[in-house]
C-alpha cells in the first residue's frame, strides 16, 4: 500500500537571491559563483522551485552561471520602471532571461502597480501580454502595495500573479481581505517582505530614526514570540505559509547557511499564538515594509 506524501512547506517557498556584503563575507568572483551554486543546490534539494529576481545588480548573471543541471527552478523577473520607456521595459525583461541563460521565464511582473495606474498603463500591460502570447513568459502580473488597491487592479487587468507585501508586523493585506479577494479571482498570490525588511530581527539600538519611537512595540512583539518559544524567522514563515489564499512565500536569502536555516524554520511547528497581537500600528509597519534595513542575521 502506498501512502500519499504530505507536501513540504518548502514547496511553497520562493527565494530572492541577494548579494549583500553585510549578510555574507565578500568573496572573489569564482568563489562567489560557487557559493551561489551551493545555495541553489540546497534550495533545490529541499523542494524550493521558484526564484524571484530583480533587474538590479549582478545577481541575474550569477544565477545564470550557477543553475544546477537539470534545473528544477522557475523564474520570475521584474520590469524596470515605466519611466524608462515601453521599449526599454520590454527589452530589459528579455535581457533578464538572457543574463540568466534561460529561453523563457515563469512570470514577468510590473515592478510597481503605480506604473499600471498611469496613462501608459494599458500599453505597458499589452506589451507584457504580447510576451506571454509568444511564450517568452508563462504568466504576467504586477507588484503591489496595499495602498494601490491590488484587488481592484486585479479585477481591471486580470493578472496571473500579484506579489504583495505582508508580514507579522504589517498584516493589512490579510486583515483587509485583499489576499483572499485576489485568490478568489484566480490570481496566484506571492507574499513578499515576510521578514519586514529585517525589522523583525532588529534590536532597539539598531533602529533608524524613523522607527526609534516604536522600539518598545518591537520589543513587546519579540517578547511574545519568546514566550511562545518560537524565534522570529519561524514565526514569520509560519504566519505567511498559513495565510489563506497565498500560493508562494518569497524570502530573500544570501547564502546556503541562510537557506538551511529558512528550510528548518519552515518545518517548525505552527505556534498557538494570537497573530493580530503582534502587528504594529499601520503607520510604522507600512514604513518598515519600505525600509531597506540590513540586519546581519536577517534572512
Q: What is the pLDDT along the chain (299 residues), one digit of tens a residue?
A: 444 445 688 889 999 998 765 555 666 666 888 999 999 999 999 999 999 999 998 999 999 999 998 899 999 999 999 999 999 999 999 999 999 999 999 999 999 999 999 999 999 999 999 999 999 999 999 999 999 999 999 999 999 999 999 999 999 999 999 999 999 999 999 999 999 877 777 666 666 666 666 677 777 888 888 888 889 999 999 999 999 999 999 999 999 999 999 999 999 888 888 999 888 865 444 555 445 443 333 33
C-alpha distance from residue 204 to each of 51, 208, 219, 268, 287 (Å)? 32, 9, 7, 27, 16
Instruction: Give the model's pLDDT for residue 4.
Output: 46
135 sits in the region (left: phi over 0; alpha: psi -120 to 50; else beta) called left
Check residue 289 and give its pLDDT: 46
The cell 485568490 sits on which residue?
Answer: 183
pLDDT at position 224 is 87
| Distance in Å from the first CA to the final CA of the chain | 40
In sequence order, the 6+-apart residues with CB closer than 8 A to the CB of 58 are 19
Residue 294 is predicted with a pLDDT of 39
Class of domain 11-290: alpha beta
Q: Which pLDDT score is estimated for 204? A: 64
Q: Which of 211, 190, 230 is nearest to 281 (CA)?
A: 211
Residue 16 burial by CB count (10 A; 0-12/13-18/19+): exposed, middle or buried? Answer: middle
Q: Please provide the DSSP assignment of 80-122 as one string.
A: PPGGG-HHHHHHHHHHHHHHTT-S-EEEEEES-HHHHHSTTHH
The three cell numbers locating residue 233:
524567522
Question: What distance in Å separates the CA atoms of residue 239 and residue 63, rounded to the nearest whole number?
Answer: 29
Determine the pLDDT at residue 277.
87
> Where do the domains of the chain lie?
11-290
* Per-residue three-class SS string for 196-254: HHHHHHCCHHHCCHHHHHHHHHHHHHHHHHHHCCCCHHHHHHHHHHCCCCEEEEEEEEC
Kindly state the cell numbers that stand for 12: 511553497
Query: For the whole model, what pTM was predicted?
Result: 0.89
Q: How many CA atoms lie within 13 A of 221 on its CB side?
A: 27
DSSP lists the bridge partners of residue 249 as 13, 191
Amino acid at each position: 500500500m502506498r501512502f500519499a506524501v504530505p507536501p513540504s512547506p518548502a514547496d511553497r517557498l520562493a527565494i530572492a537571491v541577494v548579494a549583500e556584503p553585510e549578510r555574507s563575507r565578500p568573496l572573489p568572483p569564482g568563489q562567489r559563483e560557487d557559493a551561489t551554486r551551493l545555495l541553489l543546490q540546497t534550495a533545490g534539494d529541499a523542494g524550493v522551485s521558484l526564484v524571484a529576481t530583480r533587474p538590479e545588480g549582478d545577481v541575474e548573471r550569477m544565477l545564470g552561471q550557477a543553475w544546477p543541471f537539470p534545473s528544477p527552478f522557475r523564474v520570475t523577473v521584474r520590469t524596470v520602471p515605466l519611466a524608462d520607456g515601453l521599449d526599454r521595459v520590454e527589452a530589459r525583461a528579455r535581457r533578464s532571461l538572457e543574463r540568466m541563460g534561460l529561453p523563457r521565464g515563469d512570470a514577468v511582473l510590473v515592478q510597481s502597480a503605480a506604473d499600471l495606474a498611469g496613462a501608459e498603463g494599458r500599453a505597458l500591460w499589452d506589451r507584457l501580454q504580447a510576451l506571454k502570447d509568444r511564450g517568452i513568459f508563462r504568466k504576467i502580473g504586477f507588484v503591489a502595495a496595499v495602498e494601490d488597491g491590488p484587488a481592484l487592479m486585479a479585477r481591471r487587468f486580470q493578472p496571473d500573479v500579484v506579489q504583495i507585501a505582508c508580514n507579522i508586523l504589517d498584516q493589512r493585506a490579510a486583515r483587509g481581505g485583499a489576499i483572499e479577494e485576489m485568490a478568489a479571482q484566480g490570481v496566484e498570490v506571492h507574499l513578499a517582505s515576510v521578514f519586514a525588511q529585517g525589522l523583525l530581527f532588529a534590536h532597539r539600538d539598531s533602529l533608524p530614526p524613523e522607527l526609534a519611537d516604536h522600539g518598545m512595540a518591537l520589543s513587546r512583539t519579540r517578547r511574545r514570540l519568546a514566550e511562545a518559544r518560537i524565534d522570529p524567522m519561524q514565526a514569520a514563515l509560519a504566519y505567511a505559509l498559513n495565510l489563506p489564499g497565498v500560493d508562494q512565500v518569497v524570502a530573500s536569502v544570501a547564502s546556503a547557511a541562510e537557506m538551511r536555516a529558512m528550510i528548518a524554520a519552515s518545518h517548525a511547528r505552527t505556534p498557538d499564538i494570537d497573530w493580530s497581537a503582534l502587528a504594529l500600528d499601520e503607520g510604522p509597519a507600512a514604513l518598515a515594509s519600505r525600509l531597506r534595513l540590513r540586519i546581519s542575521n536577517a534572512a
